[in-house]
Amino acid sequence: MTANFAPGFAPAKINLTLHITGQRADGYHLLDSLVAFADFGDHLTVTPASDMRLDVVGPEGEGVPTDYRNLILQAAALCPVADPHAFTLEKNLPTASGVGGGSSDAAAAIRLLKVDVDLQRVLKLGADIPMCITPKAARVQGIGDQISVVSNFPSLPAVLLNPRLSVPTPDVFSALLSKDNAPMQSMPKPGGDVIVWLAEQRNDLQGPAISLFPGIQSALSALEGTNGCQIVRMSGSGATCFALYRTDTEAENAAKDLTHSHPDWWVQSCRLGSMA
């Protein structure tokens, strides 16, 4: 599943699981998450320029900041390059949606500039950025700084769905009543049924997110009603949800049906796994 991977490709990052296992004294939450990447995402290009700047195009580009509020320029500022650069972002992923779009964009900027960067400084920009620099399926722990790549992770047919809700991550964490939950179970052995294993795991932010944004439950229910659906779950802090299927045909047909029945929602069939 590496055919679409290029330095400027910024794939959607999906939390197949998200267990919140504690909270540090400085407020950072501790997590235990299985992360996979989609073969669909944003695209970033870069050229030398007289000044550092960012242009945003694409179907999801409206409202995306082009100044230093954008993680692309913040990440570029951490890279020791002699000359400024102009970036162009083709935005295909919805913003504030739980698929790590901004972090994946920032990681693409770092890859395109082809320089070594201090990952501890990058981590302060966003906990998701380091795992997005090399987008491979991984178990992520700590505050996102402990990344263990999962070898030979299968490529999973999936549908991503966002009911056009912008969900503020801090609000969802604030609504989480229990900050000390059980970690993931041991990963399945090579050749084991990952989907069956995933069904026994959780996203601890799903309940709090639904309590704040009931439309997320509508999205989950719509996915669950598609033919061939094996498991549905919210990704990250929401509002994007995903469903897994056994075949590409089932996923593609489900996406077509959902697009027809909910034309105002963002729907995308894809495969989830490692992109590098």
End position of a domain, from candidates 123, 149, 175:
149
User: Which CATH number does the domain housing residue 249 bear?
Assistant: 3.30.70.890
Whole-number Å distance between alpha carbons of 106 and 7: 11
Give SS3 for 102.
helix
> Is residue 3 a part of any domain in this protein?
no
The per-residue pLDDT for range 27-38, each reduced to its tens digit, is 989 999 999 999
CA-to-CA dists, residue 47 to 21, 75, 230, angstroms: 42, 16, 44
The candidate with the shortest Cα–Cα distance to 45, out of 99, 85, 77, is 85
% of the chain exceeding 70 in pLDDT: 99
In this predicted structure, the answer to whether residue 138 has a pLDDT above a threshold of 90 is yes
pLDDT per residue over 55-73, tens digit each?
999 999 999 999 999 999 9
**Known catalytic membership, residue 13:** yes
Residue 2 lies in a domain: no
The domain in which residue 28 lies consists of 9-149
Q: How far is the C-alpha of 176 from the C-alpha of 20, rounded, in Å?
A: 9
- Is residue 183 one of the residues assigned to a domain? yes
83 is catalytic: no
Query: Please, what is the end-to-end C-alpha distance for the chain in angstroms?
Result: 8
pLDDT for residue 276: 80
Q: Are 61 and 54 in contact (CB under 8 A)?
A: no
Whole-number pLDDT of residue 119: 84
Catalytic residue, candidates 91, 128, 136, 204: 128
Domain boundary among 149, 168, 184: 149
What mean pLDDT, rounded, does the chain reach?
A: 94
What is each CA distance from 193 to 28, 39, 225, 242, in whole angstroms? 33, 21, 22, 18
Catalytic entry in 13, 91, 105, 204 = 13
Query: DSSP character for 3?
Result: T
Q: Domains in the chain: how many in total? A: 2
CA 237 to CA 150: how far, in whole Å? 23
Q: In angstroms, rounded to a whole number, what is the distance separating the alpha carbons of residues 144 and 131?
A: 8
* CA count, 13 A, side-chain hemisphere, 211: 12
**pLDDT band at 117, cuts 50/70/90?**
confident
- pLDDT tens, 171-194? 999 999 999 999 999 988 888 899
Does residue 190 sit in the same domain as residue 251? yes
Q: What is the spatial distance between Cα 239 and Cα 220, in angstroms, rounded to a whole number? A: 10
56 and 103 inside one domain: yes
Do residues 75 and 175 both lie within one domain? no
pLDDT value at residue 92 = 98
Give the mean model confidence (pLDDT) for residues 119-128. Answer: 89
Provide the pLDDT confidence category of residue 82 given band limits of 50, 70 and 90: confident
**Residue 42's domain is classified under what CATH number?**
3.30.230.10
pLDDT at 1 over 80: no
Cα dist from 48 to 38, 43, 81, 102, 105, whole Å: 29, 17, 11, 22, 18
pLDDT of amino acid 4: 61
Of 89, 120, 149, which residue sits at a domain end? 149
In this predicted structure, what is the pLDDT of residue 116? 86
How do residues 223-269 score in pLDDT, each as one tens digit? 999 999 999 999 999 999 999 999 999 999 999 999 999 999 999 99
Using CA atoms, how far residue 18 sits from 6, 35, 207, in Å, is 27, 9, 12
What pLDDT is stored for residue 96 in this prediction?
84
Whether 47 is in a domain gets the answer yes
Is residue 165 left, alpha or beta, with left meaning phi > 0 and alpha meaning psi from -120 to 50?
beta
What's the rounded Cα separation, in Å, for the pair 61 and 56?
6
The 3-state secondary structure of 186-241 reads CCCCCCCCHHHHHCCCCECCHHHHHHHCCHHHHHHHHHHCCCCCCEEEECCCCCCE
My answer on whether 76 and 178 are in the same domain is no
